[in-house]
Amino acid sequence: MSFSSLGLLEPLVRAAGQYAAPTPVQVAAIPAVLAGGDVLATAQTGSGKTTAFVLPLLQRWLGAGAERRRPLHTLILVPTRELAAQVREVVQQFSLHLPVRLKVVSAVGGVSINPQMMALRGGADFIVATPGRLLDLVDSNAVKLAGVSALVLDEADRMLDLGFADELKRILAMLPSHRQNLLFSATFPPAVESIALTLLHHPARIEILPEEGAAEPPRIEQRAICVDTAKRTPLLRHLIATHRWKRVLVFVAKQYTADHVAEKLRRNGIRAMAFHGELSQGARTQVLSDFKSASTQVLVATDLAARGLNIVQLPAVVNYELPRSATDYTHRIGRTGRAGAAGVAVSFVTAAANAHFCLIEKRQGLTIPREEVPGFEPTEPAPEPTPGTGGIKGRRKSKKDKLREAAARERRTSEQ
């Protein structure tokens, strides 16, 4: 099947010419978006979801006529600044051959708002934004949302969780009731999907199974290595040397750990950098650029790097610390093995984390054999179960749990 057979105009087909053929999610989603209805699409990481909504939205914008240009036509909301930059680049790339010039603006935090306000003078056709900065621009009267024709939630499961709930509620209240809603993500947990469906009107439901989500079946070898907590960094160095990984993305849970592990690797002659939300936007951009160009060999990152980032030919991902949920596990390992390339995802499983990893396996329908690497055999005993921690979140308390505890403390204080 070709892009032209999906109903796309010739300039868009020409722009998509770099791809041999559309992927399954593109085959299913492009006609559905062109038809103008709502879409709820699930497909694995690396399957071409961004292209699946950008191409048909550009065609719908082009068909809207001159009177619909510059008043904001399409609003794309994303959870991170890096994903915003990536999506904006895709929009610009596919608009190159259009007969009318498209104006697309990226609106993200971490940088001065003034250039973004200047960019929005005279309006914009597409805005790719993180929710907080978009609201800042609305409050500054730099942009109005009342005329939006299409709303996209990219990484929609993340956009609908508690972290963005208040901001998203404000944004939705400003949008016209009659609009096209497109929700795309690699994962839609049942609780999030039920929220998503309240935003949609008779949506086309697209669900691409993992083995169908790319031009070739995904080739991600998943490994679980048992190791003591104190030996994880030496084991990481050993694996990098043994497998001669030119680049590896290492996931940790906290910003401090990212800095600490990266520093220990550098002390051992490995070109490593940390990547997390406390870095300035300029630093984040530079760190990613150095990693993509292989100037940096190891990127030690929080889950900020788990969503949407497209790093070509990344051979390995290591879960130095396990993710909080099975959903995050999917997004983390999806940074490797993209577009049919081979990759390996290694999880370090300490005695304290084994029960948590078992829950991830259960939620994912996986059984990953435990390995031991000679010289790094674990000796730590399994910890005694901690009552009341329950669930796949492990021993760390969720934001919701902390809010409940704070409310309980306030009630107790008021009663005393």
Percent of the chain beyond pLDDT 90? 64
Answer yes or no: is pLDDT of 214 > 90: no
C-alpha span between 310 and 83 (Å, rounded): 9
**Global pTM?**
0.75
What's the pLDDT score for residue 325?
Answer: 87
H helix runs in 178-293, sequence order = 190-199, 232-243, 255-267, 281-292
Hey, how many other C-beta atoms are within 10 angstroms of the C-beta on 378?
Answer: 18
Q: Which two tokens stand for residue 117?
A: 């306000």
* Span 25-29, average pLDDT: 95
Helix (H, G, I), strand (E, B) or coil at 287: helix
Q: What stretch of H or E contains 248?
A: strand 248-251
* Span 287-300, average pLDDT: 93
C-alpha span between 375 and 369 (Å, rounded): 19
> What class, spelled out in words, does domain 219-371 have in CATH?
alpha beta
First to last CA, the chain: 71
Q: Which two tokens stand for residue 326?
A: 């099975």
Helix (H, G, I), strand (E, B) or coil at 29: helix
Identity at 412, one-letter amino acid code? R
For strands 316-319 and 150-154, give the pairing.
Answer: unpaired
CB of 90 closer than 8 Å to CB of 76: no
* Span 23-31, average pLDDT: 95
Between residues 112 and 67, the one the model is more confident about: 112
C-alpha span between 7 and 42 (Å, rounded): 22
From residue 166, alpha-carbon distances to 54, 159, 170 in Å are: 26, 11, 6
pLDDT for 366-387, tens place per residue?
899 999 999 999 999 888 766 6
Q: Which residues contact 138 (CB under 8 A, 6 or more apart)?
A: 144, 145, 174
Strands of the 248-251 sheet, one edge to the other: 272-275, 298-301, 248-251, 316-319, 342-349, 219-226, 370-371
Name the least confident of 231-240, 271-280, 328-337: 328-337
Q: Which two tokens stand for residue 150?
A: 């299409």
C-alpha span between 199 and 197 (Å, rounded): 5
The tally of CA atoms less than 13 A away on the side-chain side of residue 210 is 11
* Span 168-186, average pLDDT: 94
C-alpha span between 390 and 32 (Å, rounded): 41
What's the pLDDT score for residue 309?
Answer: 77
C-alpha span between 54 and 78 (Å, rounded): 14
Q: How does DSSP classify residue 304?
A: G
Can 4-212 and 219-371 be said to share one CATH topology? yes
What phi and psi values does residue 301 have, to the nearest 5 degrees? -135, 155
Longest dimension (CA), the chain: 72
Name the least confident of 56-70, 138-152, 209-223, 382-396: 382-396
For Cα atoms 258, 328, 288, give the angle at the middle one, nearest 5 degrees. 45
- Mean pLDDT of the residues in the chain: 87
β partners of residue 416: none
Q: Which residues contact 308 (CB under 8 A, 6 or more apart)?
A: 78, 79, 80, 82, 83, 86, 87, 154, 155
Give the architecture-level CATH label for domain 4-212: 3-Layer(aba) Sandwich (3.40)
Between residues 390 and 261, the one the model is more confident about: 261
Q: Which residues contact 128 (CB under 8 A, 6 or more apart)?
A: 76, 78, 84, 87, 88, 91, 104, 105, 106, 107
125 closest CA partner among 108, 98, 149: 149
Give the dihedral sign, CA 153/157/159/160: positive
What's the pLDDT score for residue 413?
Answer: 36
CB of 264 closer than 8 Å to CB of 233: yes
What dihedral do alpha carbons 157, 162, 165, 166 form, nearest 10°? -160
Domain ranges for the chain? 4-212, 219-371
